[in-house]
Structure 1
Amino acid sequence: MRADNSRHIVAAAGNRHEYTRAKAIKALREIDAAGTAVTFDSVARAAGVSRSWLYTQPDLRAEIERLRTERQRASADPVPARQRASDASLIRRLEAANERNRRLTEENRQLREQLAHALGDLRAARLQSPPIPEARRPGRGSATIGPC
């Protein structure tokens, strides 16, 4: 008489089912994160499962339908025309930004020039003044001689 090995078959089928579910959930998350359309077909292709199997999984089916509906609703609600910026408005904003960049560039040039003059004046002043004797330099006090 043969031994009853059905428990091994049942365990293997359960493992295969969980592995397949994990692949489908991973594919669903990746498709959603990528921002592409979530459909039964796209999830089935990405996970390597059949569409009919996805339809038999209530939680996966509900999530796919929810994401699909959410995406459709988001794309169906465009910004109203009165809230969109006109071409003329965008061009004016671009011109203003370019003008501000030109002013800032000129200001930077002037500041660099002023800094160069100030550093040059400082260097010239150092070259013209007599050197400070060693004993009178800041941070150099009188030497204290201690016992030897």
Structure 2
Amino acid sequence: MRPDNTARIIAAAQRRRELTRAKALQALRELDRTGVPITFQSVATAAHVSRSWLYAQPDIRTEIQRLRQATRSAPAAPIPASQRTSEKSALARLDIALKRNRELAEENQRLRRQLARALGEHRRSPHSRNSDDSPPTPAKPHRSSVTIGPC
């Protein structure tokens, strides 16, 4: 009577299945990372597996369909999923930009008030006008800008 080898055959089949899944997932990640359009054919070719096998794996099939749809809807060159902006990230960046915009508007208003005060003080200073009847002093070259320090 022959020895029972079913346990070894089952173990070998499980190892082969795990290796094949790992190859398919690695190929899928590599194609996505490089920006290659994701299709069942491209994954099958890169992983050296059949397309029918890919269709039979629900999780891999779902991921291929998700990535394929994402790259189809992209207007330009496909962006790898790991580099795509999530909605949460985009909203956070928009919030930061709006906050920075408010800060710059407030700083702009503060600088305008500071400049108005400096120009008012310059007009009121005795050097800016001639109050006595002496002949006007020769005009100094006019400086077109005034540097204002912090308040």
Aligned twin of 1:22: 22
| Runs of 5+ consecutive residues of structure 2 not aligned to the other structure | 77-151
Aligned twin of 1:47: 47
TM-score by structure 2 length? 0.49
The offset of 1:75, in angstroms, is 2.2
Aligned twin of 1:59: 59
Choose 1 or 2 for highest CA Rg: 1
Matches within 5 A, 1:1-148: 1-75=1-75
Deviation per CA, 1:100-122, whole angstroms, max 9, x where unpaired? xxxxxxxxxxxxxxxxxxxxxxx
**1:6 partner amino acid:** T
TM-score by structure 1 length? 0.50
Deviation per CA, 1:71-130, whole angstroms, max 9, x where unpaired? 111228xxxxxxxxxxxxxxxxxxxxxxxxxxxxxxxxxxxxxxxxxxxxxxxxxxxxxx
In 1, the alpha carbon distance for the partners of 2:75 and 2:52 equals 27
**2:57 partner amino acid:** Q
Structure showing the higher helix proportion among its residues? 1
**1:35 partner amino acid:** G
The offset of 1:10, in angstroms, is 0.4
User: Cα RMSD (Å) of the superposition?
Assistant: 1.1
Identity across the alignment (%): 61
Aligned twin of 1:95: none
The offset of 1:36, in angstroms, is 1.0
SS of residue matched to 2:74: helix
**1:12 partner amino acid:** A
In 1, the alpha carbon distance for the partners of 2:61 and 2:8 equals 29
**1:63 partner amino acid:** E
Q: Write out the 4+ residue segments of structure 1 that deviate beyond 4 Å after TM superposition.
A: none
**1:5 partner amino acid:** N
In 1, the alpha carbon distance for the partners of 2:40 and 2:75 equals 19
